[in-house]
Each structure stands twice: as structure tokens, then as C-alpha cells.
Amino acid sequence: MAHVKPYSLFTDFDINLFKAGKHYRLYEKFGSHITTIDGIDGVYFAVWAPSAKQVSVVGDFNFWTEGEHLLNVRWDSSGIWEGFIPLIGKGNIYKYKIESNNDGIKTEKADPYARRYEHPPKTASIVWDDTYKWKDSKWMKKRKVYNAIDAPYSVYEVHLGSWKKQIEENRFLSYYELANDLVNYVKDMNFTHVELMPIMEHPYDPSWGYQITGYFAPTSRFGYPEEFKYLVDKLHQNDIGIILDWVPSHFPEDAHGLGFFDGSHLYEHPDRKKGYHQDWKSLIFNYERNEVRSFLISNAIFWLEQYHADGLRVDAVASMLFLDYSREDGEWEPNIYGGRENLAVISFLKELNQEVYASFPDVQTIAEESTAFPMVSKPTFVGGLGFGMKWMMGWMHDTLEYFAKDPVYRKYHQNDITFSLAYAFTENFMLPLSHDEVVYGKNSILGRMPGDEWQRFANLRLLYGCMFTHPGTKLLFMGGEFGQYNEWNFQESLDWNLLEFEPHKNIQNYYKELNALYKTTPALYEKGFSNEGFEWISFDDHENCVISYIRKGYNTTDDVVVVCNLTPTIRENYRIGVPIKGKLKEIFNSDSKTFGGSGVSNKKQITIKKTPWNGKTFSAEITLAPLAIIVFQFKP
């Protein structure tokens, strides 16, 4: 190592916080940091490897020679190794060569805190810093409004590698190209947010990004870190929020990754019953270890602070919460109280959300959680996990199952489409039609719809209409907005050529208009997480397969009436009860000819009469279009 005075980024306070699991900015200390010491330019390295006997930095600057540049272990039993290498800098490639105290085992590891990695399949870390100058101050100042739980929240879920490809060269679009193509498309389609499937560096394309090795680096597949910042910046400049998929649940066993890092089970739990995920053939973080908790919470904060993310969608929360998740008897052990809950995970998630919201009160954390675990999206001070929202998996399963049925049988299954309202306000729910629903033989959303082509597209319009008028925020996976026929294939671009055909162009236009209706109709979002924002008119007209309800905002003059005709039969003079007198004006109809519908509508304003119906004082007679959702506005 260089003959300069000892140098460290760690203070005693840093070390104490790290050991206690309370240091939430570890990326400022660990990893490789370009610096100047005694007038000499170079790079300071720091890595956590408490079971190491010796740690070398090997790289393109020393012919990958072990022992050429040794790090020094700190005296304070923190297990941190650090040192300064002169005359290297940005762009140098490196790994840590670690000799363990455990039988002299040697590992060669990428830097867990590296800001950039080589393009897969190469696996080394790259010394990096960027001086990107953000231009999104306007968004950052006002995003509290856009990200609030009483704001419209329509999310477009995207896998960057397969959203669109450069056809002539058969390659990914770069972050720069996406900053033009994707941003313009999302803005034109009236989405409020984009959610990216994991952008962090990962070695294996078929993992879709969910098997991460580089937690602090955007993948090099699409460009440099500052180019990803440019993409985020462009989204913000166009008033579009960005949510990042974040994976604290598991990580792969790849030799250069976090597993068996220093010859010991450093990041993963040493007990395979808690430390190995059988379904995904991956390792599970040791949430009982303070330093690991600090690593993970620091990583969440990193993406919010350094990359201006507006939210984190936390993957596979159910797999984290339960010790018996996807395990048979004998493959798990109960907690100290005899239960199946992972108590360390519960405390970790609470701590995570407390720190995120304390530092960034204008973002959202969203849990992908599929069980009935209570109070996932309730504040920690009342005993909840502290997430901002939770995916409503029950709604998704029931709705897709219902719409797959031929309309002639739907009257026997009306409960499937109405049951979600029995628990809709127990959490702050997001309604997801995600990538998981269009893979592995499940068919595309359009492919699930019954009937001839006209009916399939009418059903799809009706399904999306039900989603947008149901309480909760919305998420749709890419391709669903224009009726992708095929299942999603991560290796290929979406089938954009389908937009040459009128039915697909119509459904795309329909989704665009649904987003616009949602954003401009306060009753559809202001009380989306409160039972005050929803009132049934009728949920039990099984024979006609019709449901009707009122959505309410802060201002009663904004209330709207929603009626869904779930069969292809046109129903004239259909009576619905309403609570006030005046008139009803049709403001949205999925059967409009502009969407590819048949054009059946209520052209004139409908007079509300003092005829009690559906338990209401007043009522009105309307015309129901086939397989359609109609939205009415009250007119005094």
C-alpha cells in the first residue's frame, strides 16, 4: 500500500452506528472513493469482512495480483478492512481477494458498495463517481403533492430490457434513448408514475433483475450511472414519478456476489432454514445481524437520495415475513413464541419504513405482500409495518378469474367481482395487473378474455374500467395497455406492430382516456383508501350481472355513479337508486365507438325521480351498453 498517513472515512461514531445496525448512509463510507491524500490522487477502499485473514484489492492496475495491494483491518473489532491505493481512479476495474480465517478459504468478490460494474457476463467492480447536475428541482419541491395518498396514482410497470428494442441492431435501448422514447410514451398515455423492475446490477437476464449482485449500481446493460440519472431526471421534468423495485428478500449464490463473502455466512443467515430460499435457489439475508440491516436500509436510502426515486416497491414481503413460507414441516422452526412470523424481519421492515419516511416524507414504500398479515400499510406507531401501500393480490386473482368466465355463467359468480370491497379499506391498497400475471402459461390479460374478438376487447375495456373505478391506486404491466396477445417474453420487445390494427389502437386510446378520467375525477382518488369514498348502489343483481356504486371525493359535487354491465346484453330502462335528486350526465362509456365499442349510450341528461330504489330515496332509468362500464356525474 502507499506510504501515506493512515486515512479512513470512518469515525468512531460511524463504527458504533454500524455495529448497532443504525448507520443508514453506509455508501458514504464503504466501497471505493476517489480522493487525494497528501497531494497524491488515488482511491480509498473499505470492505466489511470480519472472518478475513487477509484482504487484497486486485484489478487492472496490478495485473490482478493477490497481495500487491493489501488492506488493513481496523483495530476496533468492526471487521472493516480499508486502505488507500495511489495513482488509480475512475474507470479502474477491481475485486476483493479475501483469504478467510476459516481453513484458508479464498474468495474473489465484487465490491458490495460499488457504484458501477462491468457489463454482464463480466463481474468486476469499477471505480466510479459522477458529477451529474440534476434539473428536477421543480418536481422535487412539489412531489409531495404527486406522491400523496390522496392523489391519482396510475403506475406503468416496465422491464427496460424488453419494453422496446433497437430493431436494426437487436439491442437494448440505452438510458438516453429511453429518456426520450419511454418518457414521451408514458406522458402521452397519461400515467402518473413508472415502476421499473429491478434496475440494480444482476448477472442473469432470466432473473428479470430479481437476483441482485450489485445493490448500489444501476445495471450497465443500458449505460452509465449518470445516464440512468438522466432518465430519472427526464421523467421528473415531465411530471412523472419513478418507483424502483427493491429486493431485500434474497440474493443469488454467484461466486462474485454477497454469498459466503469472507469465507463465512456474512450476509446470509447461517441456518439454511432461515438462510436459503428453495423456490428461487437463492440466499436469504440475515435480518438478525445488525450490520446486514444497516446495509439494506442504507441501500434503500441510497436510491432515494442519490437517484431521486419517488418510491420503492418492496419485492416478496410475504416470503420474508413467514418462517414457513414455501416450506414443509421440518423445514422451518417457530419463533420464540411458537409462531410462524419472522420477528427479526418484522422489526427490520418497521425500522426501514421509519427511516425512509423520516428522511423522505414525500415518497412511498409499497409492499408486494400476498397474505392476510395485518396492518402492512399502517403506521409503525400503531403497530403496523409502516408501508405506504400494499398490493391487493386478492382483488387481482378474483377479478382475473371472474373475467375469464363466459358471461353466461357470471351470474353464479358475482361474489368474485364484489368480494374485494369487504376488505378494501383494511389497507392502503394498490390494484396490480403485474408482470407475474402474464408469464408461465397464465396467458396475457387479453388472452384470458372470453368470446369473439369484439367481446374480448369489450371485456378488457370493462376489466380496466372496473380497476380504475375500484378504490385504490393502479398498476399495469407494459403491453397490457394495447392488448398484447402473447405472454411477456423478457428476451423480446413488446409487440408494438399490433398497433397497426384498429382493436389494439383502440384499447391503447381507451387506456389513455381512462388515465385522463382518473386524473381529472377527484372522486376516483381523493378517498381511495377510505370507506367514505365508496358506497354501493347494488351488488346483488346476479340475474342481470350488473353492479353499481358511487365514488366520492372531498367535495360532494364531485361524486360519480358507476354502473358495470358484465354481460353482452343491452339493458334499456335499467333503474338504479341514487341518494339525491337532480340529473345524471354520462361522462365516460367504455362502449364508445372511439374505443371500438358499439356506441350504445345515454346521450341526454337523465332526470332523477323520487322513486325509491336500491334502498335510496331517489332513482333513475338508464341504458346499459353491452359489456360496458358507464360513469355518470351528478348534476344539481
What mean pLDDT comes out for the span 318-329? 95
Residue 4 pLDDT class (50, 70, 90 cuts): very low
Average pLDDT, the chain: 96
Q: Give the whole-angstrom CA distance, residue 466 versus residue 539.
A: 13
Do 342 and 430 fall within a single domain?
A: yes
* Residue 419 clears pLDDT 60, i.e. is over it: yes
* Residue 587 clears pLDDT 60, i.e. is over it: yes
Q: Which of 502, 524, 546 is the last residue of a domain?
A: 524
**What pLDDT digit, counting tens, does each position of 254-301 carry?**
999 999 999 999 999 999 999 999 899 999 999 999 999 999 999 999
Given a contact cutoff of 8 angstroms between Cβ atoms, the answer to whether 363 and 356 are in contact is yes
- The 10 Å CB-count burial string (b at 16+, else e) for 304-324 is bbebbbbbbbbbbbbbbbbbb
Q: Looking at 368, 437, 481, 591, which residue is catalytic?
A: 368
Q: Work out the angle at residue 550's Cα, subtended by the Cα atoms of residues 548 and 555, and round it to the nearest 5 degrees.
A: 170
Say how many CA atoms lie within 13 Å of 43 toward its Cβ: 24
What mean pLDDT comes out for the span 168-184? 93
Q: Give the whole-angstrom CA distance, residue 319 versus residue 283.
A: 12
* Residue 442 clears pLDDT 70, i.e. is over it: yes
The region, left, alpha or beta by phi > 0 then psi within -120 to 50, assigned to residue 482 is alpha
Active site residue 368: yes
Do 96 and 191 fall within a single domain?
A: no
Of 129, 109, 118, 112, the residue nearest 41 (C-alpha): 129
In a domain, 140, yes or no: no
In a domain, 562, yes or no: yes
Q: Which of 470, 492, 524 is the last residue of a domain?
A: 524
* Residue 152 clears pLDDT 50, i.e. is over it: yes
Given a contact cutoff of 8 angstroms between Cβ atoms, the answer to whether 7 and 84 are in contact is yes
Helix axes 393-403, 453-469, angle to 10 degrees: 150
Q: Which of 469, 490, 524 is the last residue of a domain?
A: 524
* Residue 192 clears pLDDT 70, i.e. is over it: yes
Do 501 and 557 fall within a single domain?
A: no
Do 569 and 518 fall within a single domain?
A: no
Task: Please give the tally of structural domains in the chain.
Answer: 3
- The 10 Å CB-count burial string (b at 16+, else e) for 426-445 is bbbbbbbbbbbbbbeeebbb
* Residue 5 clears pLDDT 70, i.e. is over it: no
In a domain, 215, yes or no: yes
Of 35, 33, 11, the residue nearest 111 (C-alpha): 33
Do 181 and 233 fall within a single domain?
A: yes
pTM of the model: 0.96
Do 579 and 456 fall within a single domain?
A: no
**What pLDDT digit, counting tens, does each position of 339-355 carry?**
999 999 999 999 999 99
Give the three-state DSSP class for 352.
helix
Helices (H), 27-152: 137-146
Residue 133, burial from CB neighbour count under 10 angstroms (0-12, 13-18, 19+)? exposed
Do 24 and 106 fall within a single domain?
A: yes
Q: Looking at 82, 111, 315, 481, which residue is catalytic?
A: 315
Do 296 and 349 fall within a single domain?
A: yes
**What pLDDT digit, counting tens, does each position of 89-138 carry?**
999 999 999 999 988 899 999 999 999 999 999 999 999 999 999 999 99
Residue identified by cell 399495469 is 476
Of 303, 547, 294, 508, the residue nearest 411 (C-alpha): 547
Range of the domain at 270: 146-255+265-524
Instruction: Detail the DSSP E strand segments found in 311-406.
Output: 311-314, 364-367, 389-391
* Residue 74 clears pLDDT 70, i.e. is over it: yes
Do 152 and 93 fall within a single domain?
A: no
Do 105 and 183 fall within a single domain?
A: no
* Residue 636 clears pLDDT 90, i.e. is over it: no
Do 294 and 367 fall within a single domain?
A: yes
Do 17 and 81 fall within a single domain?
A: yes
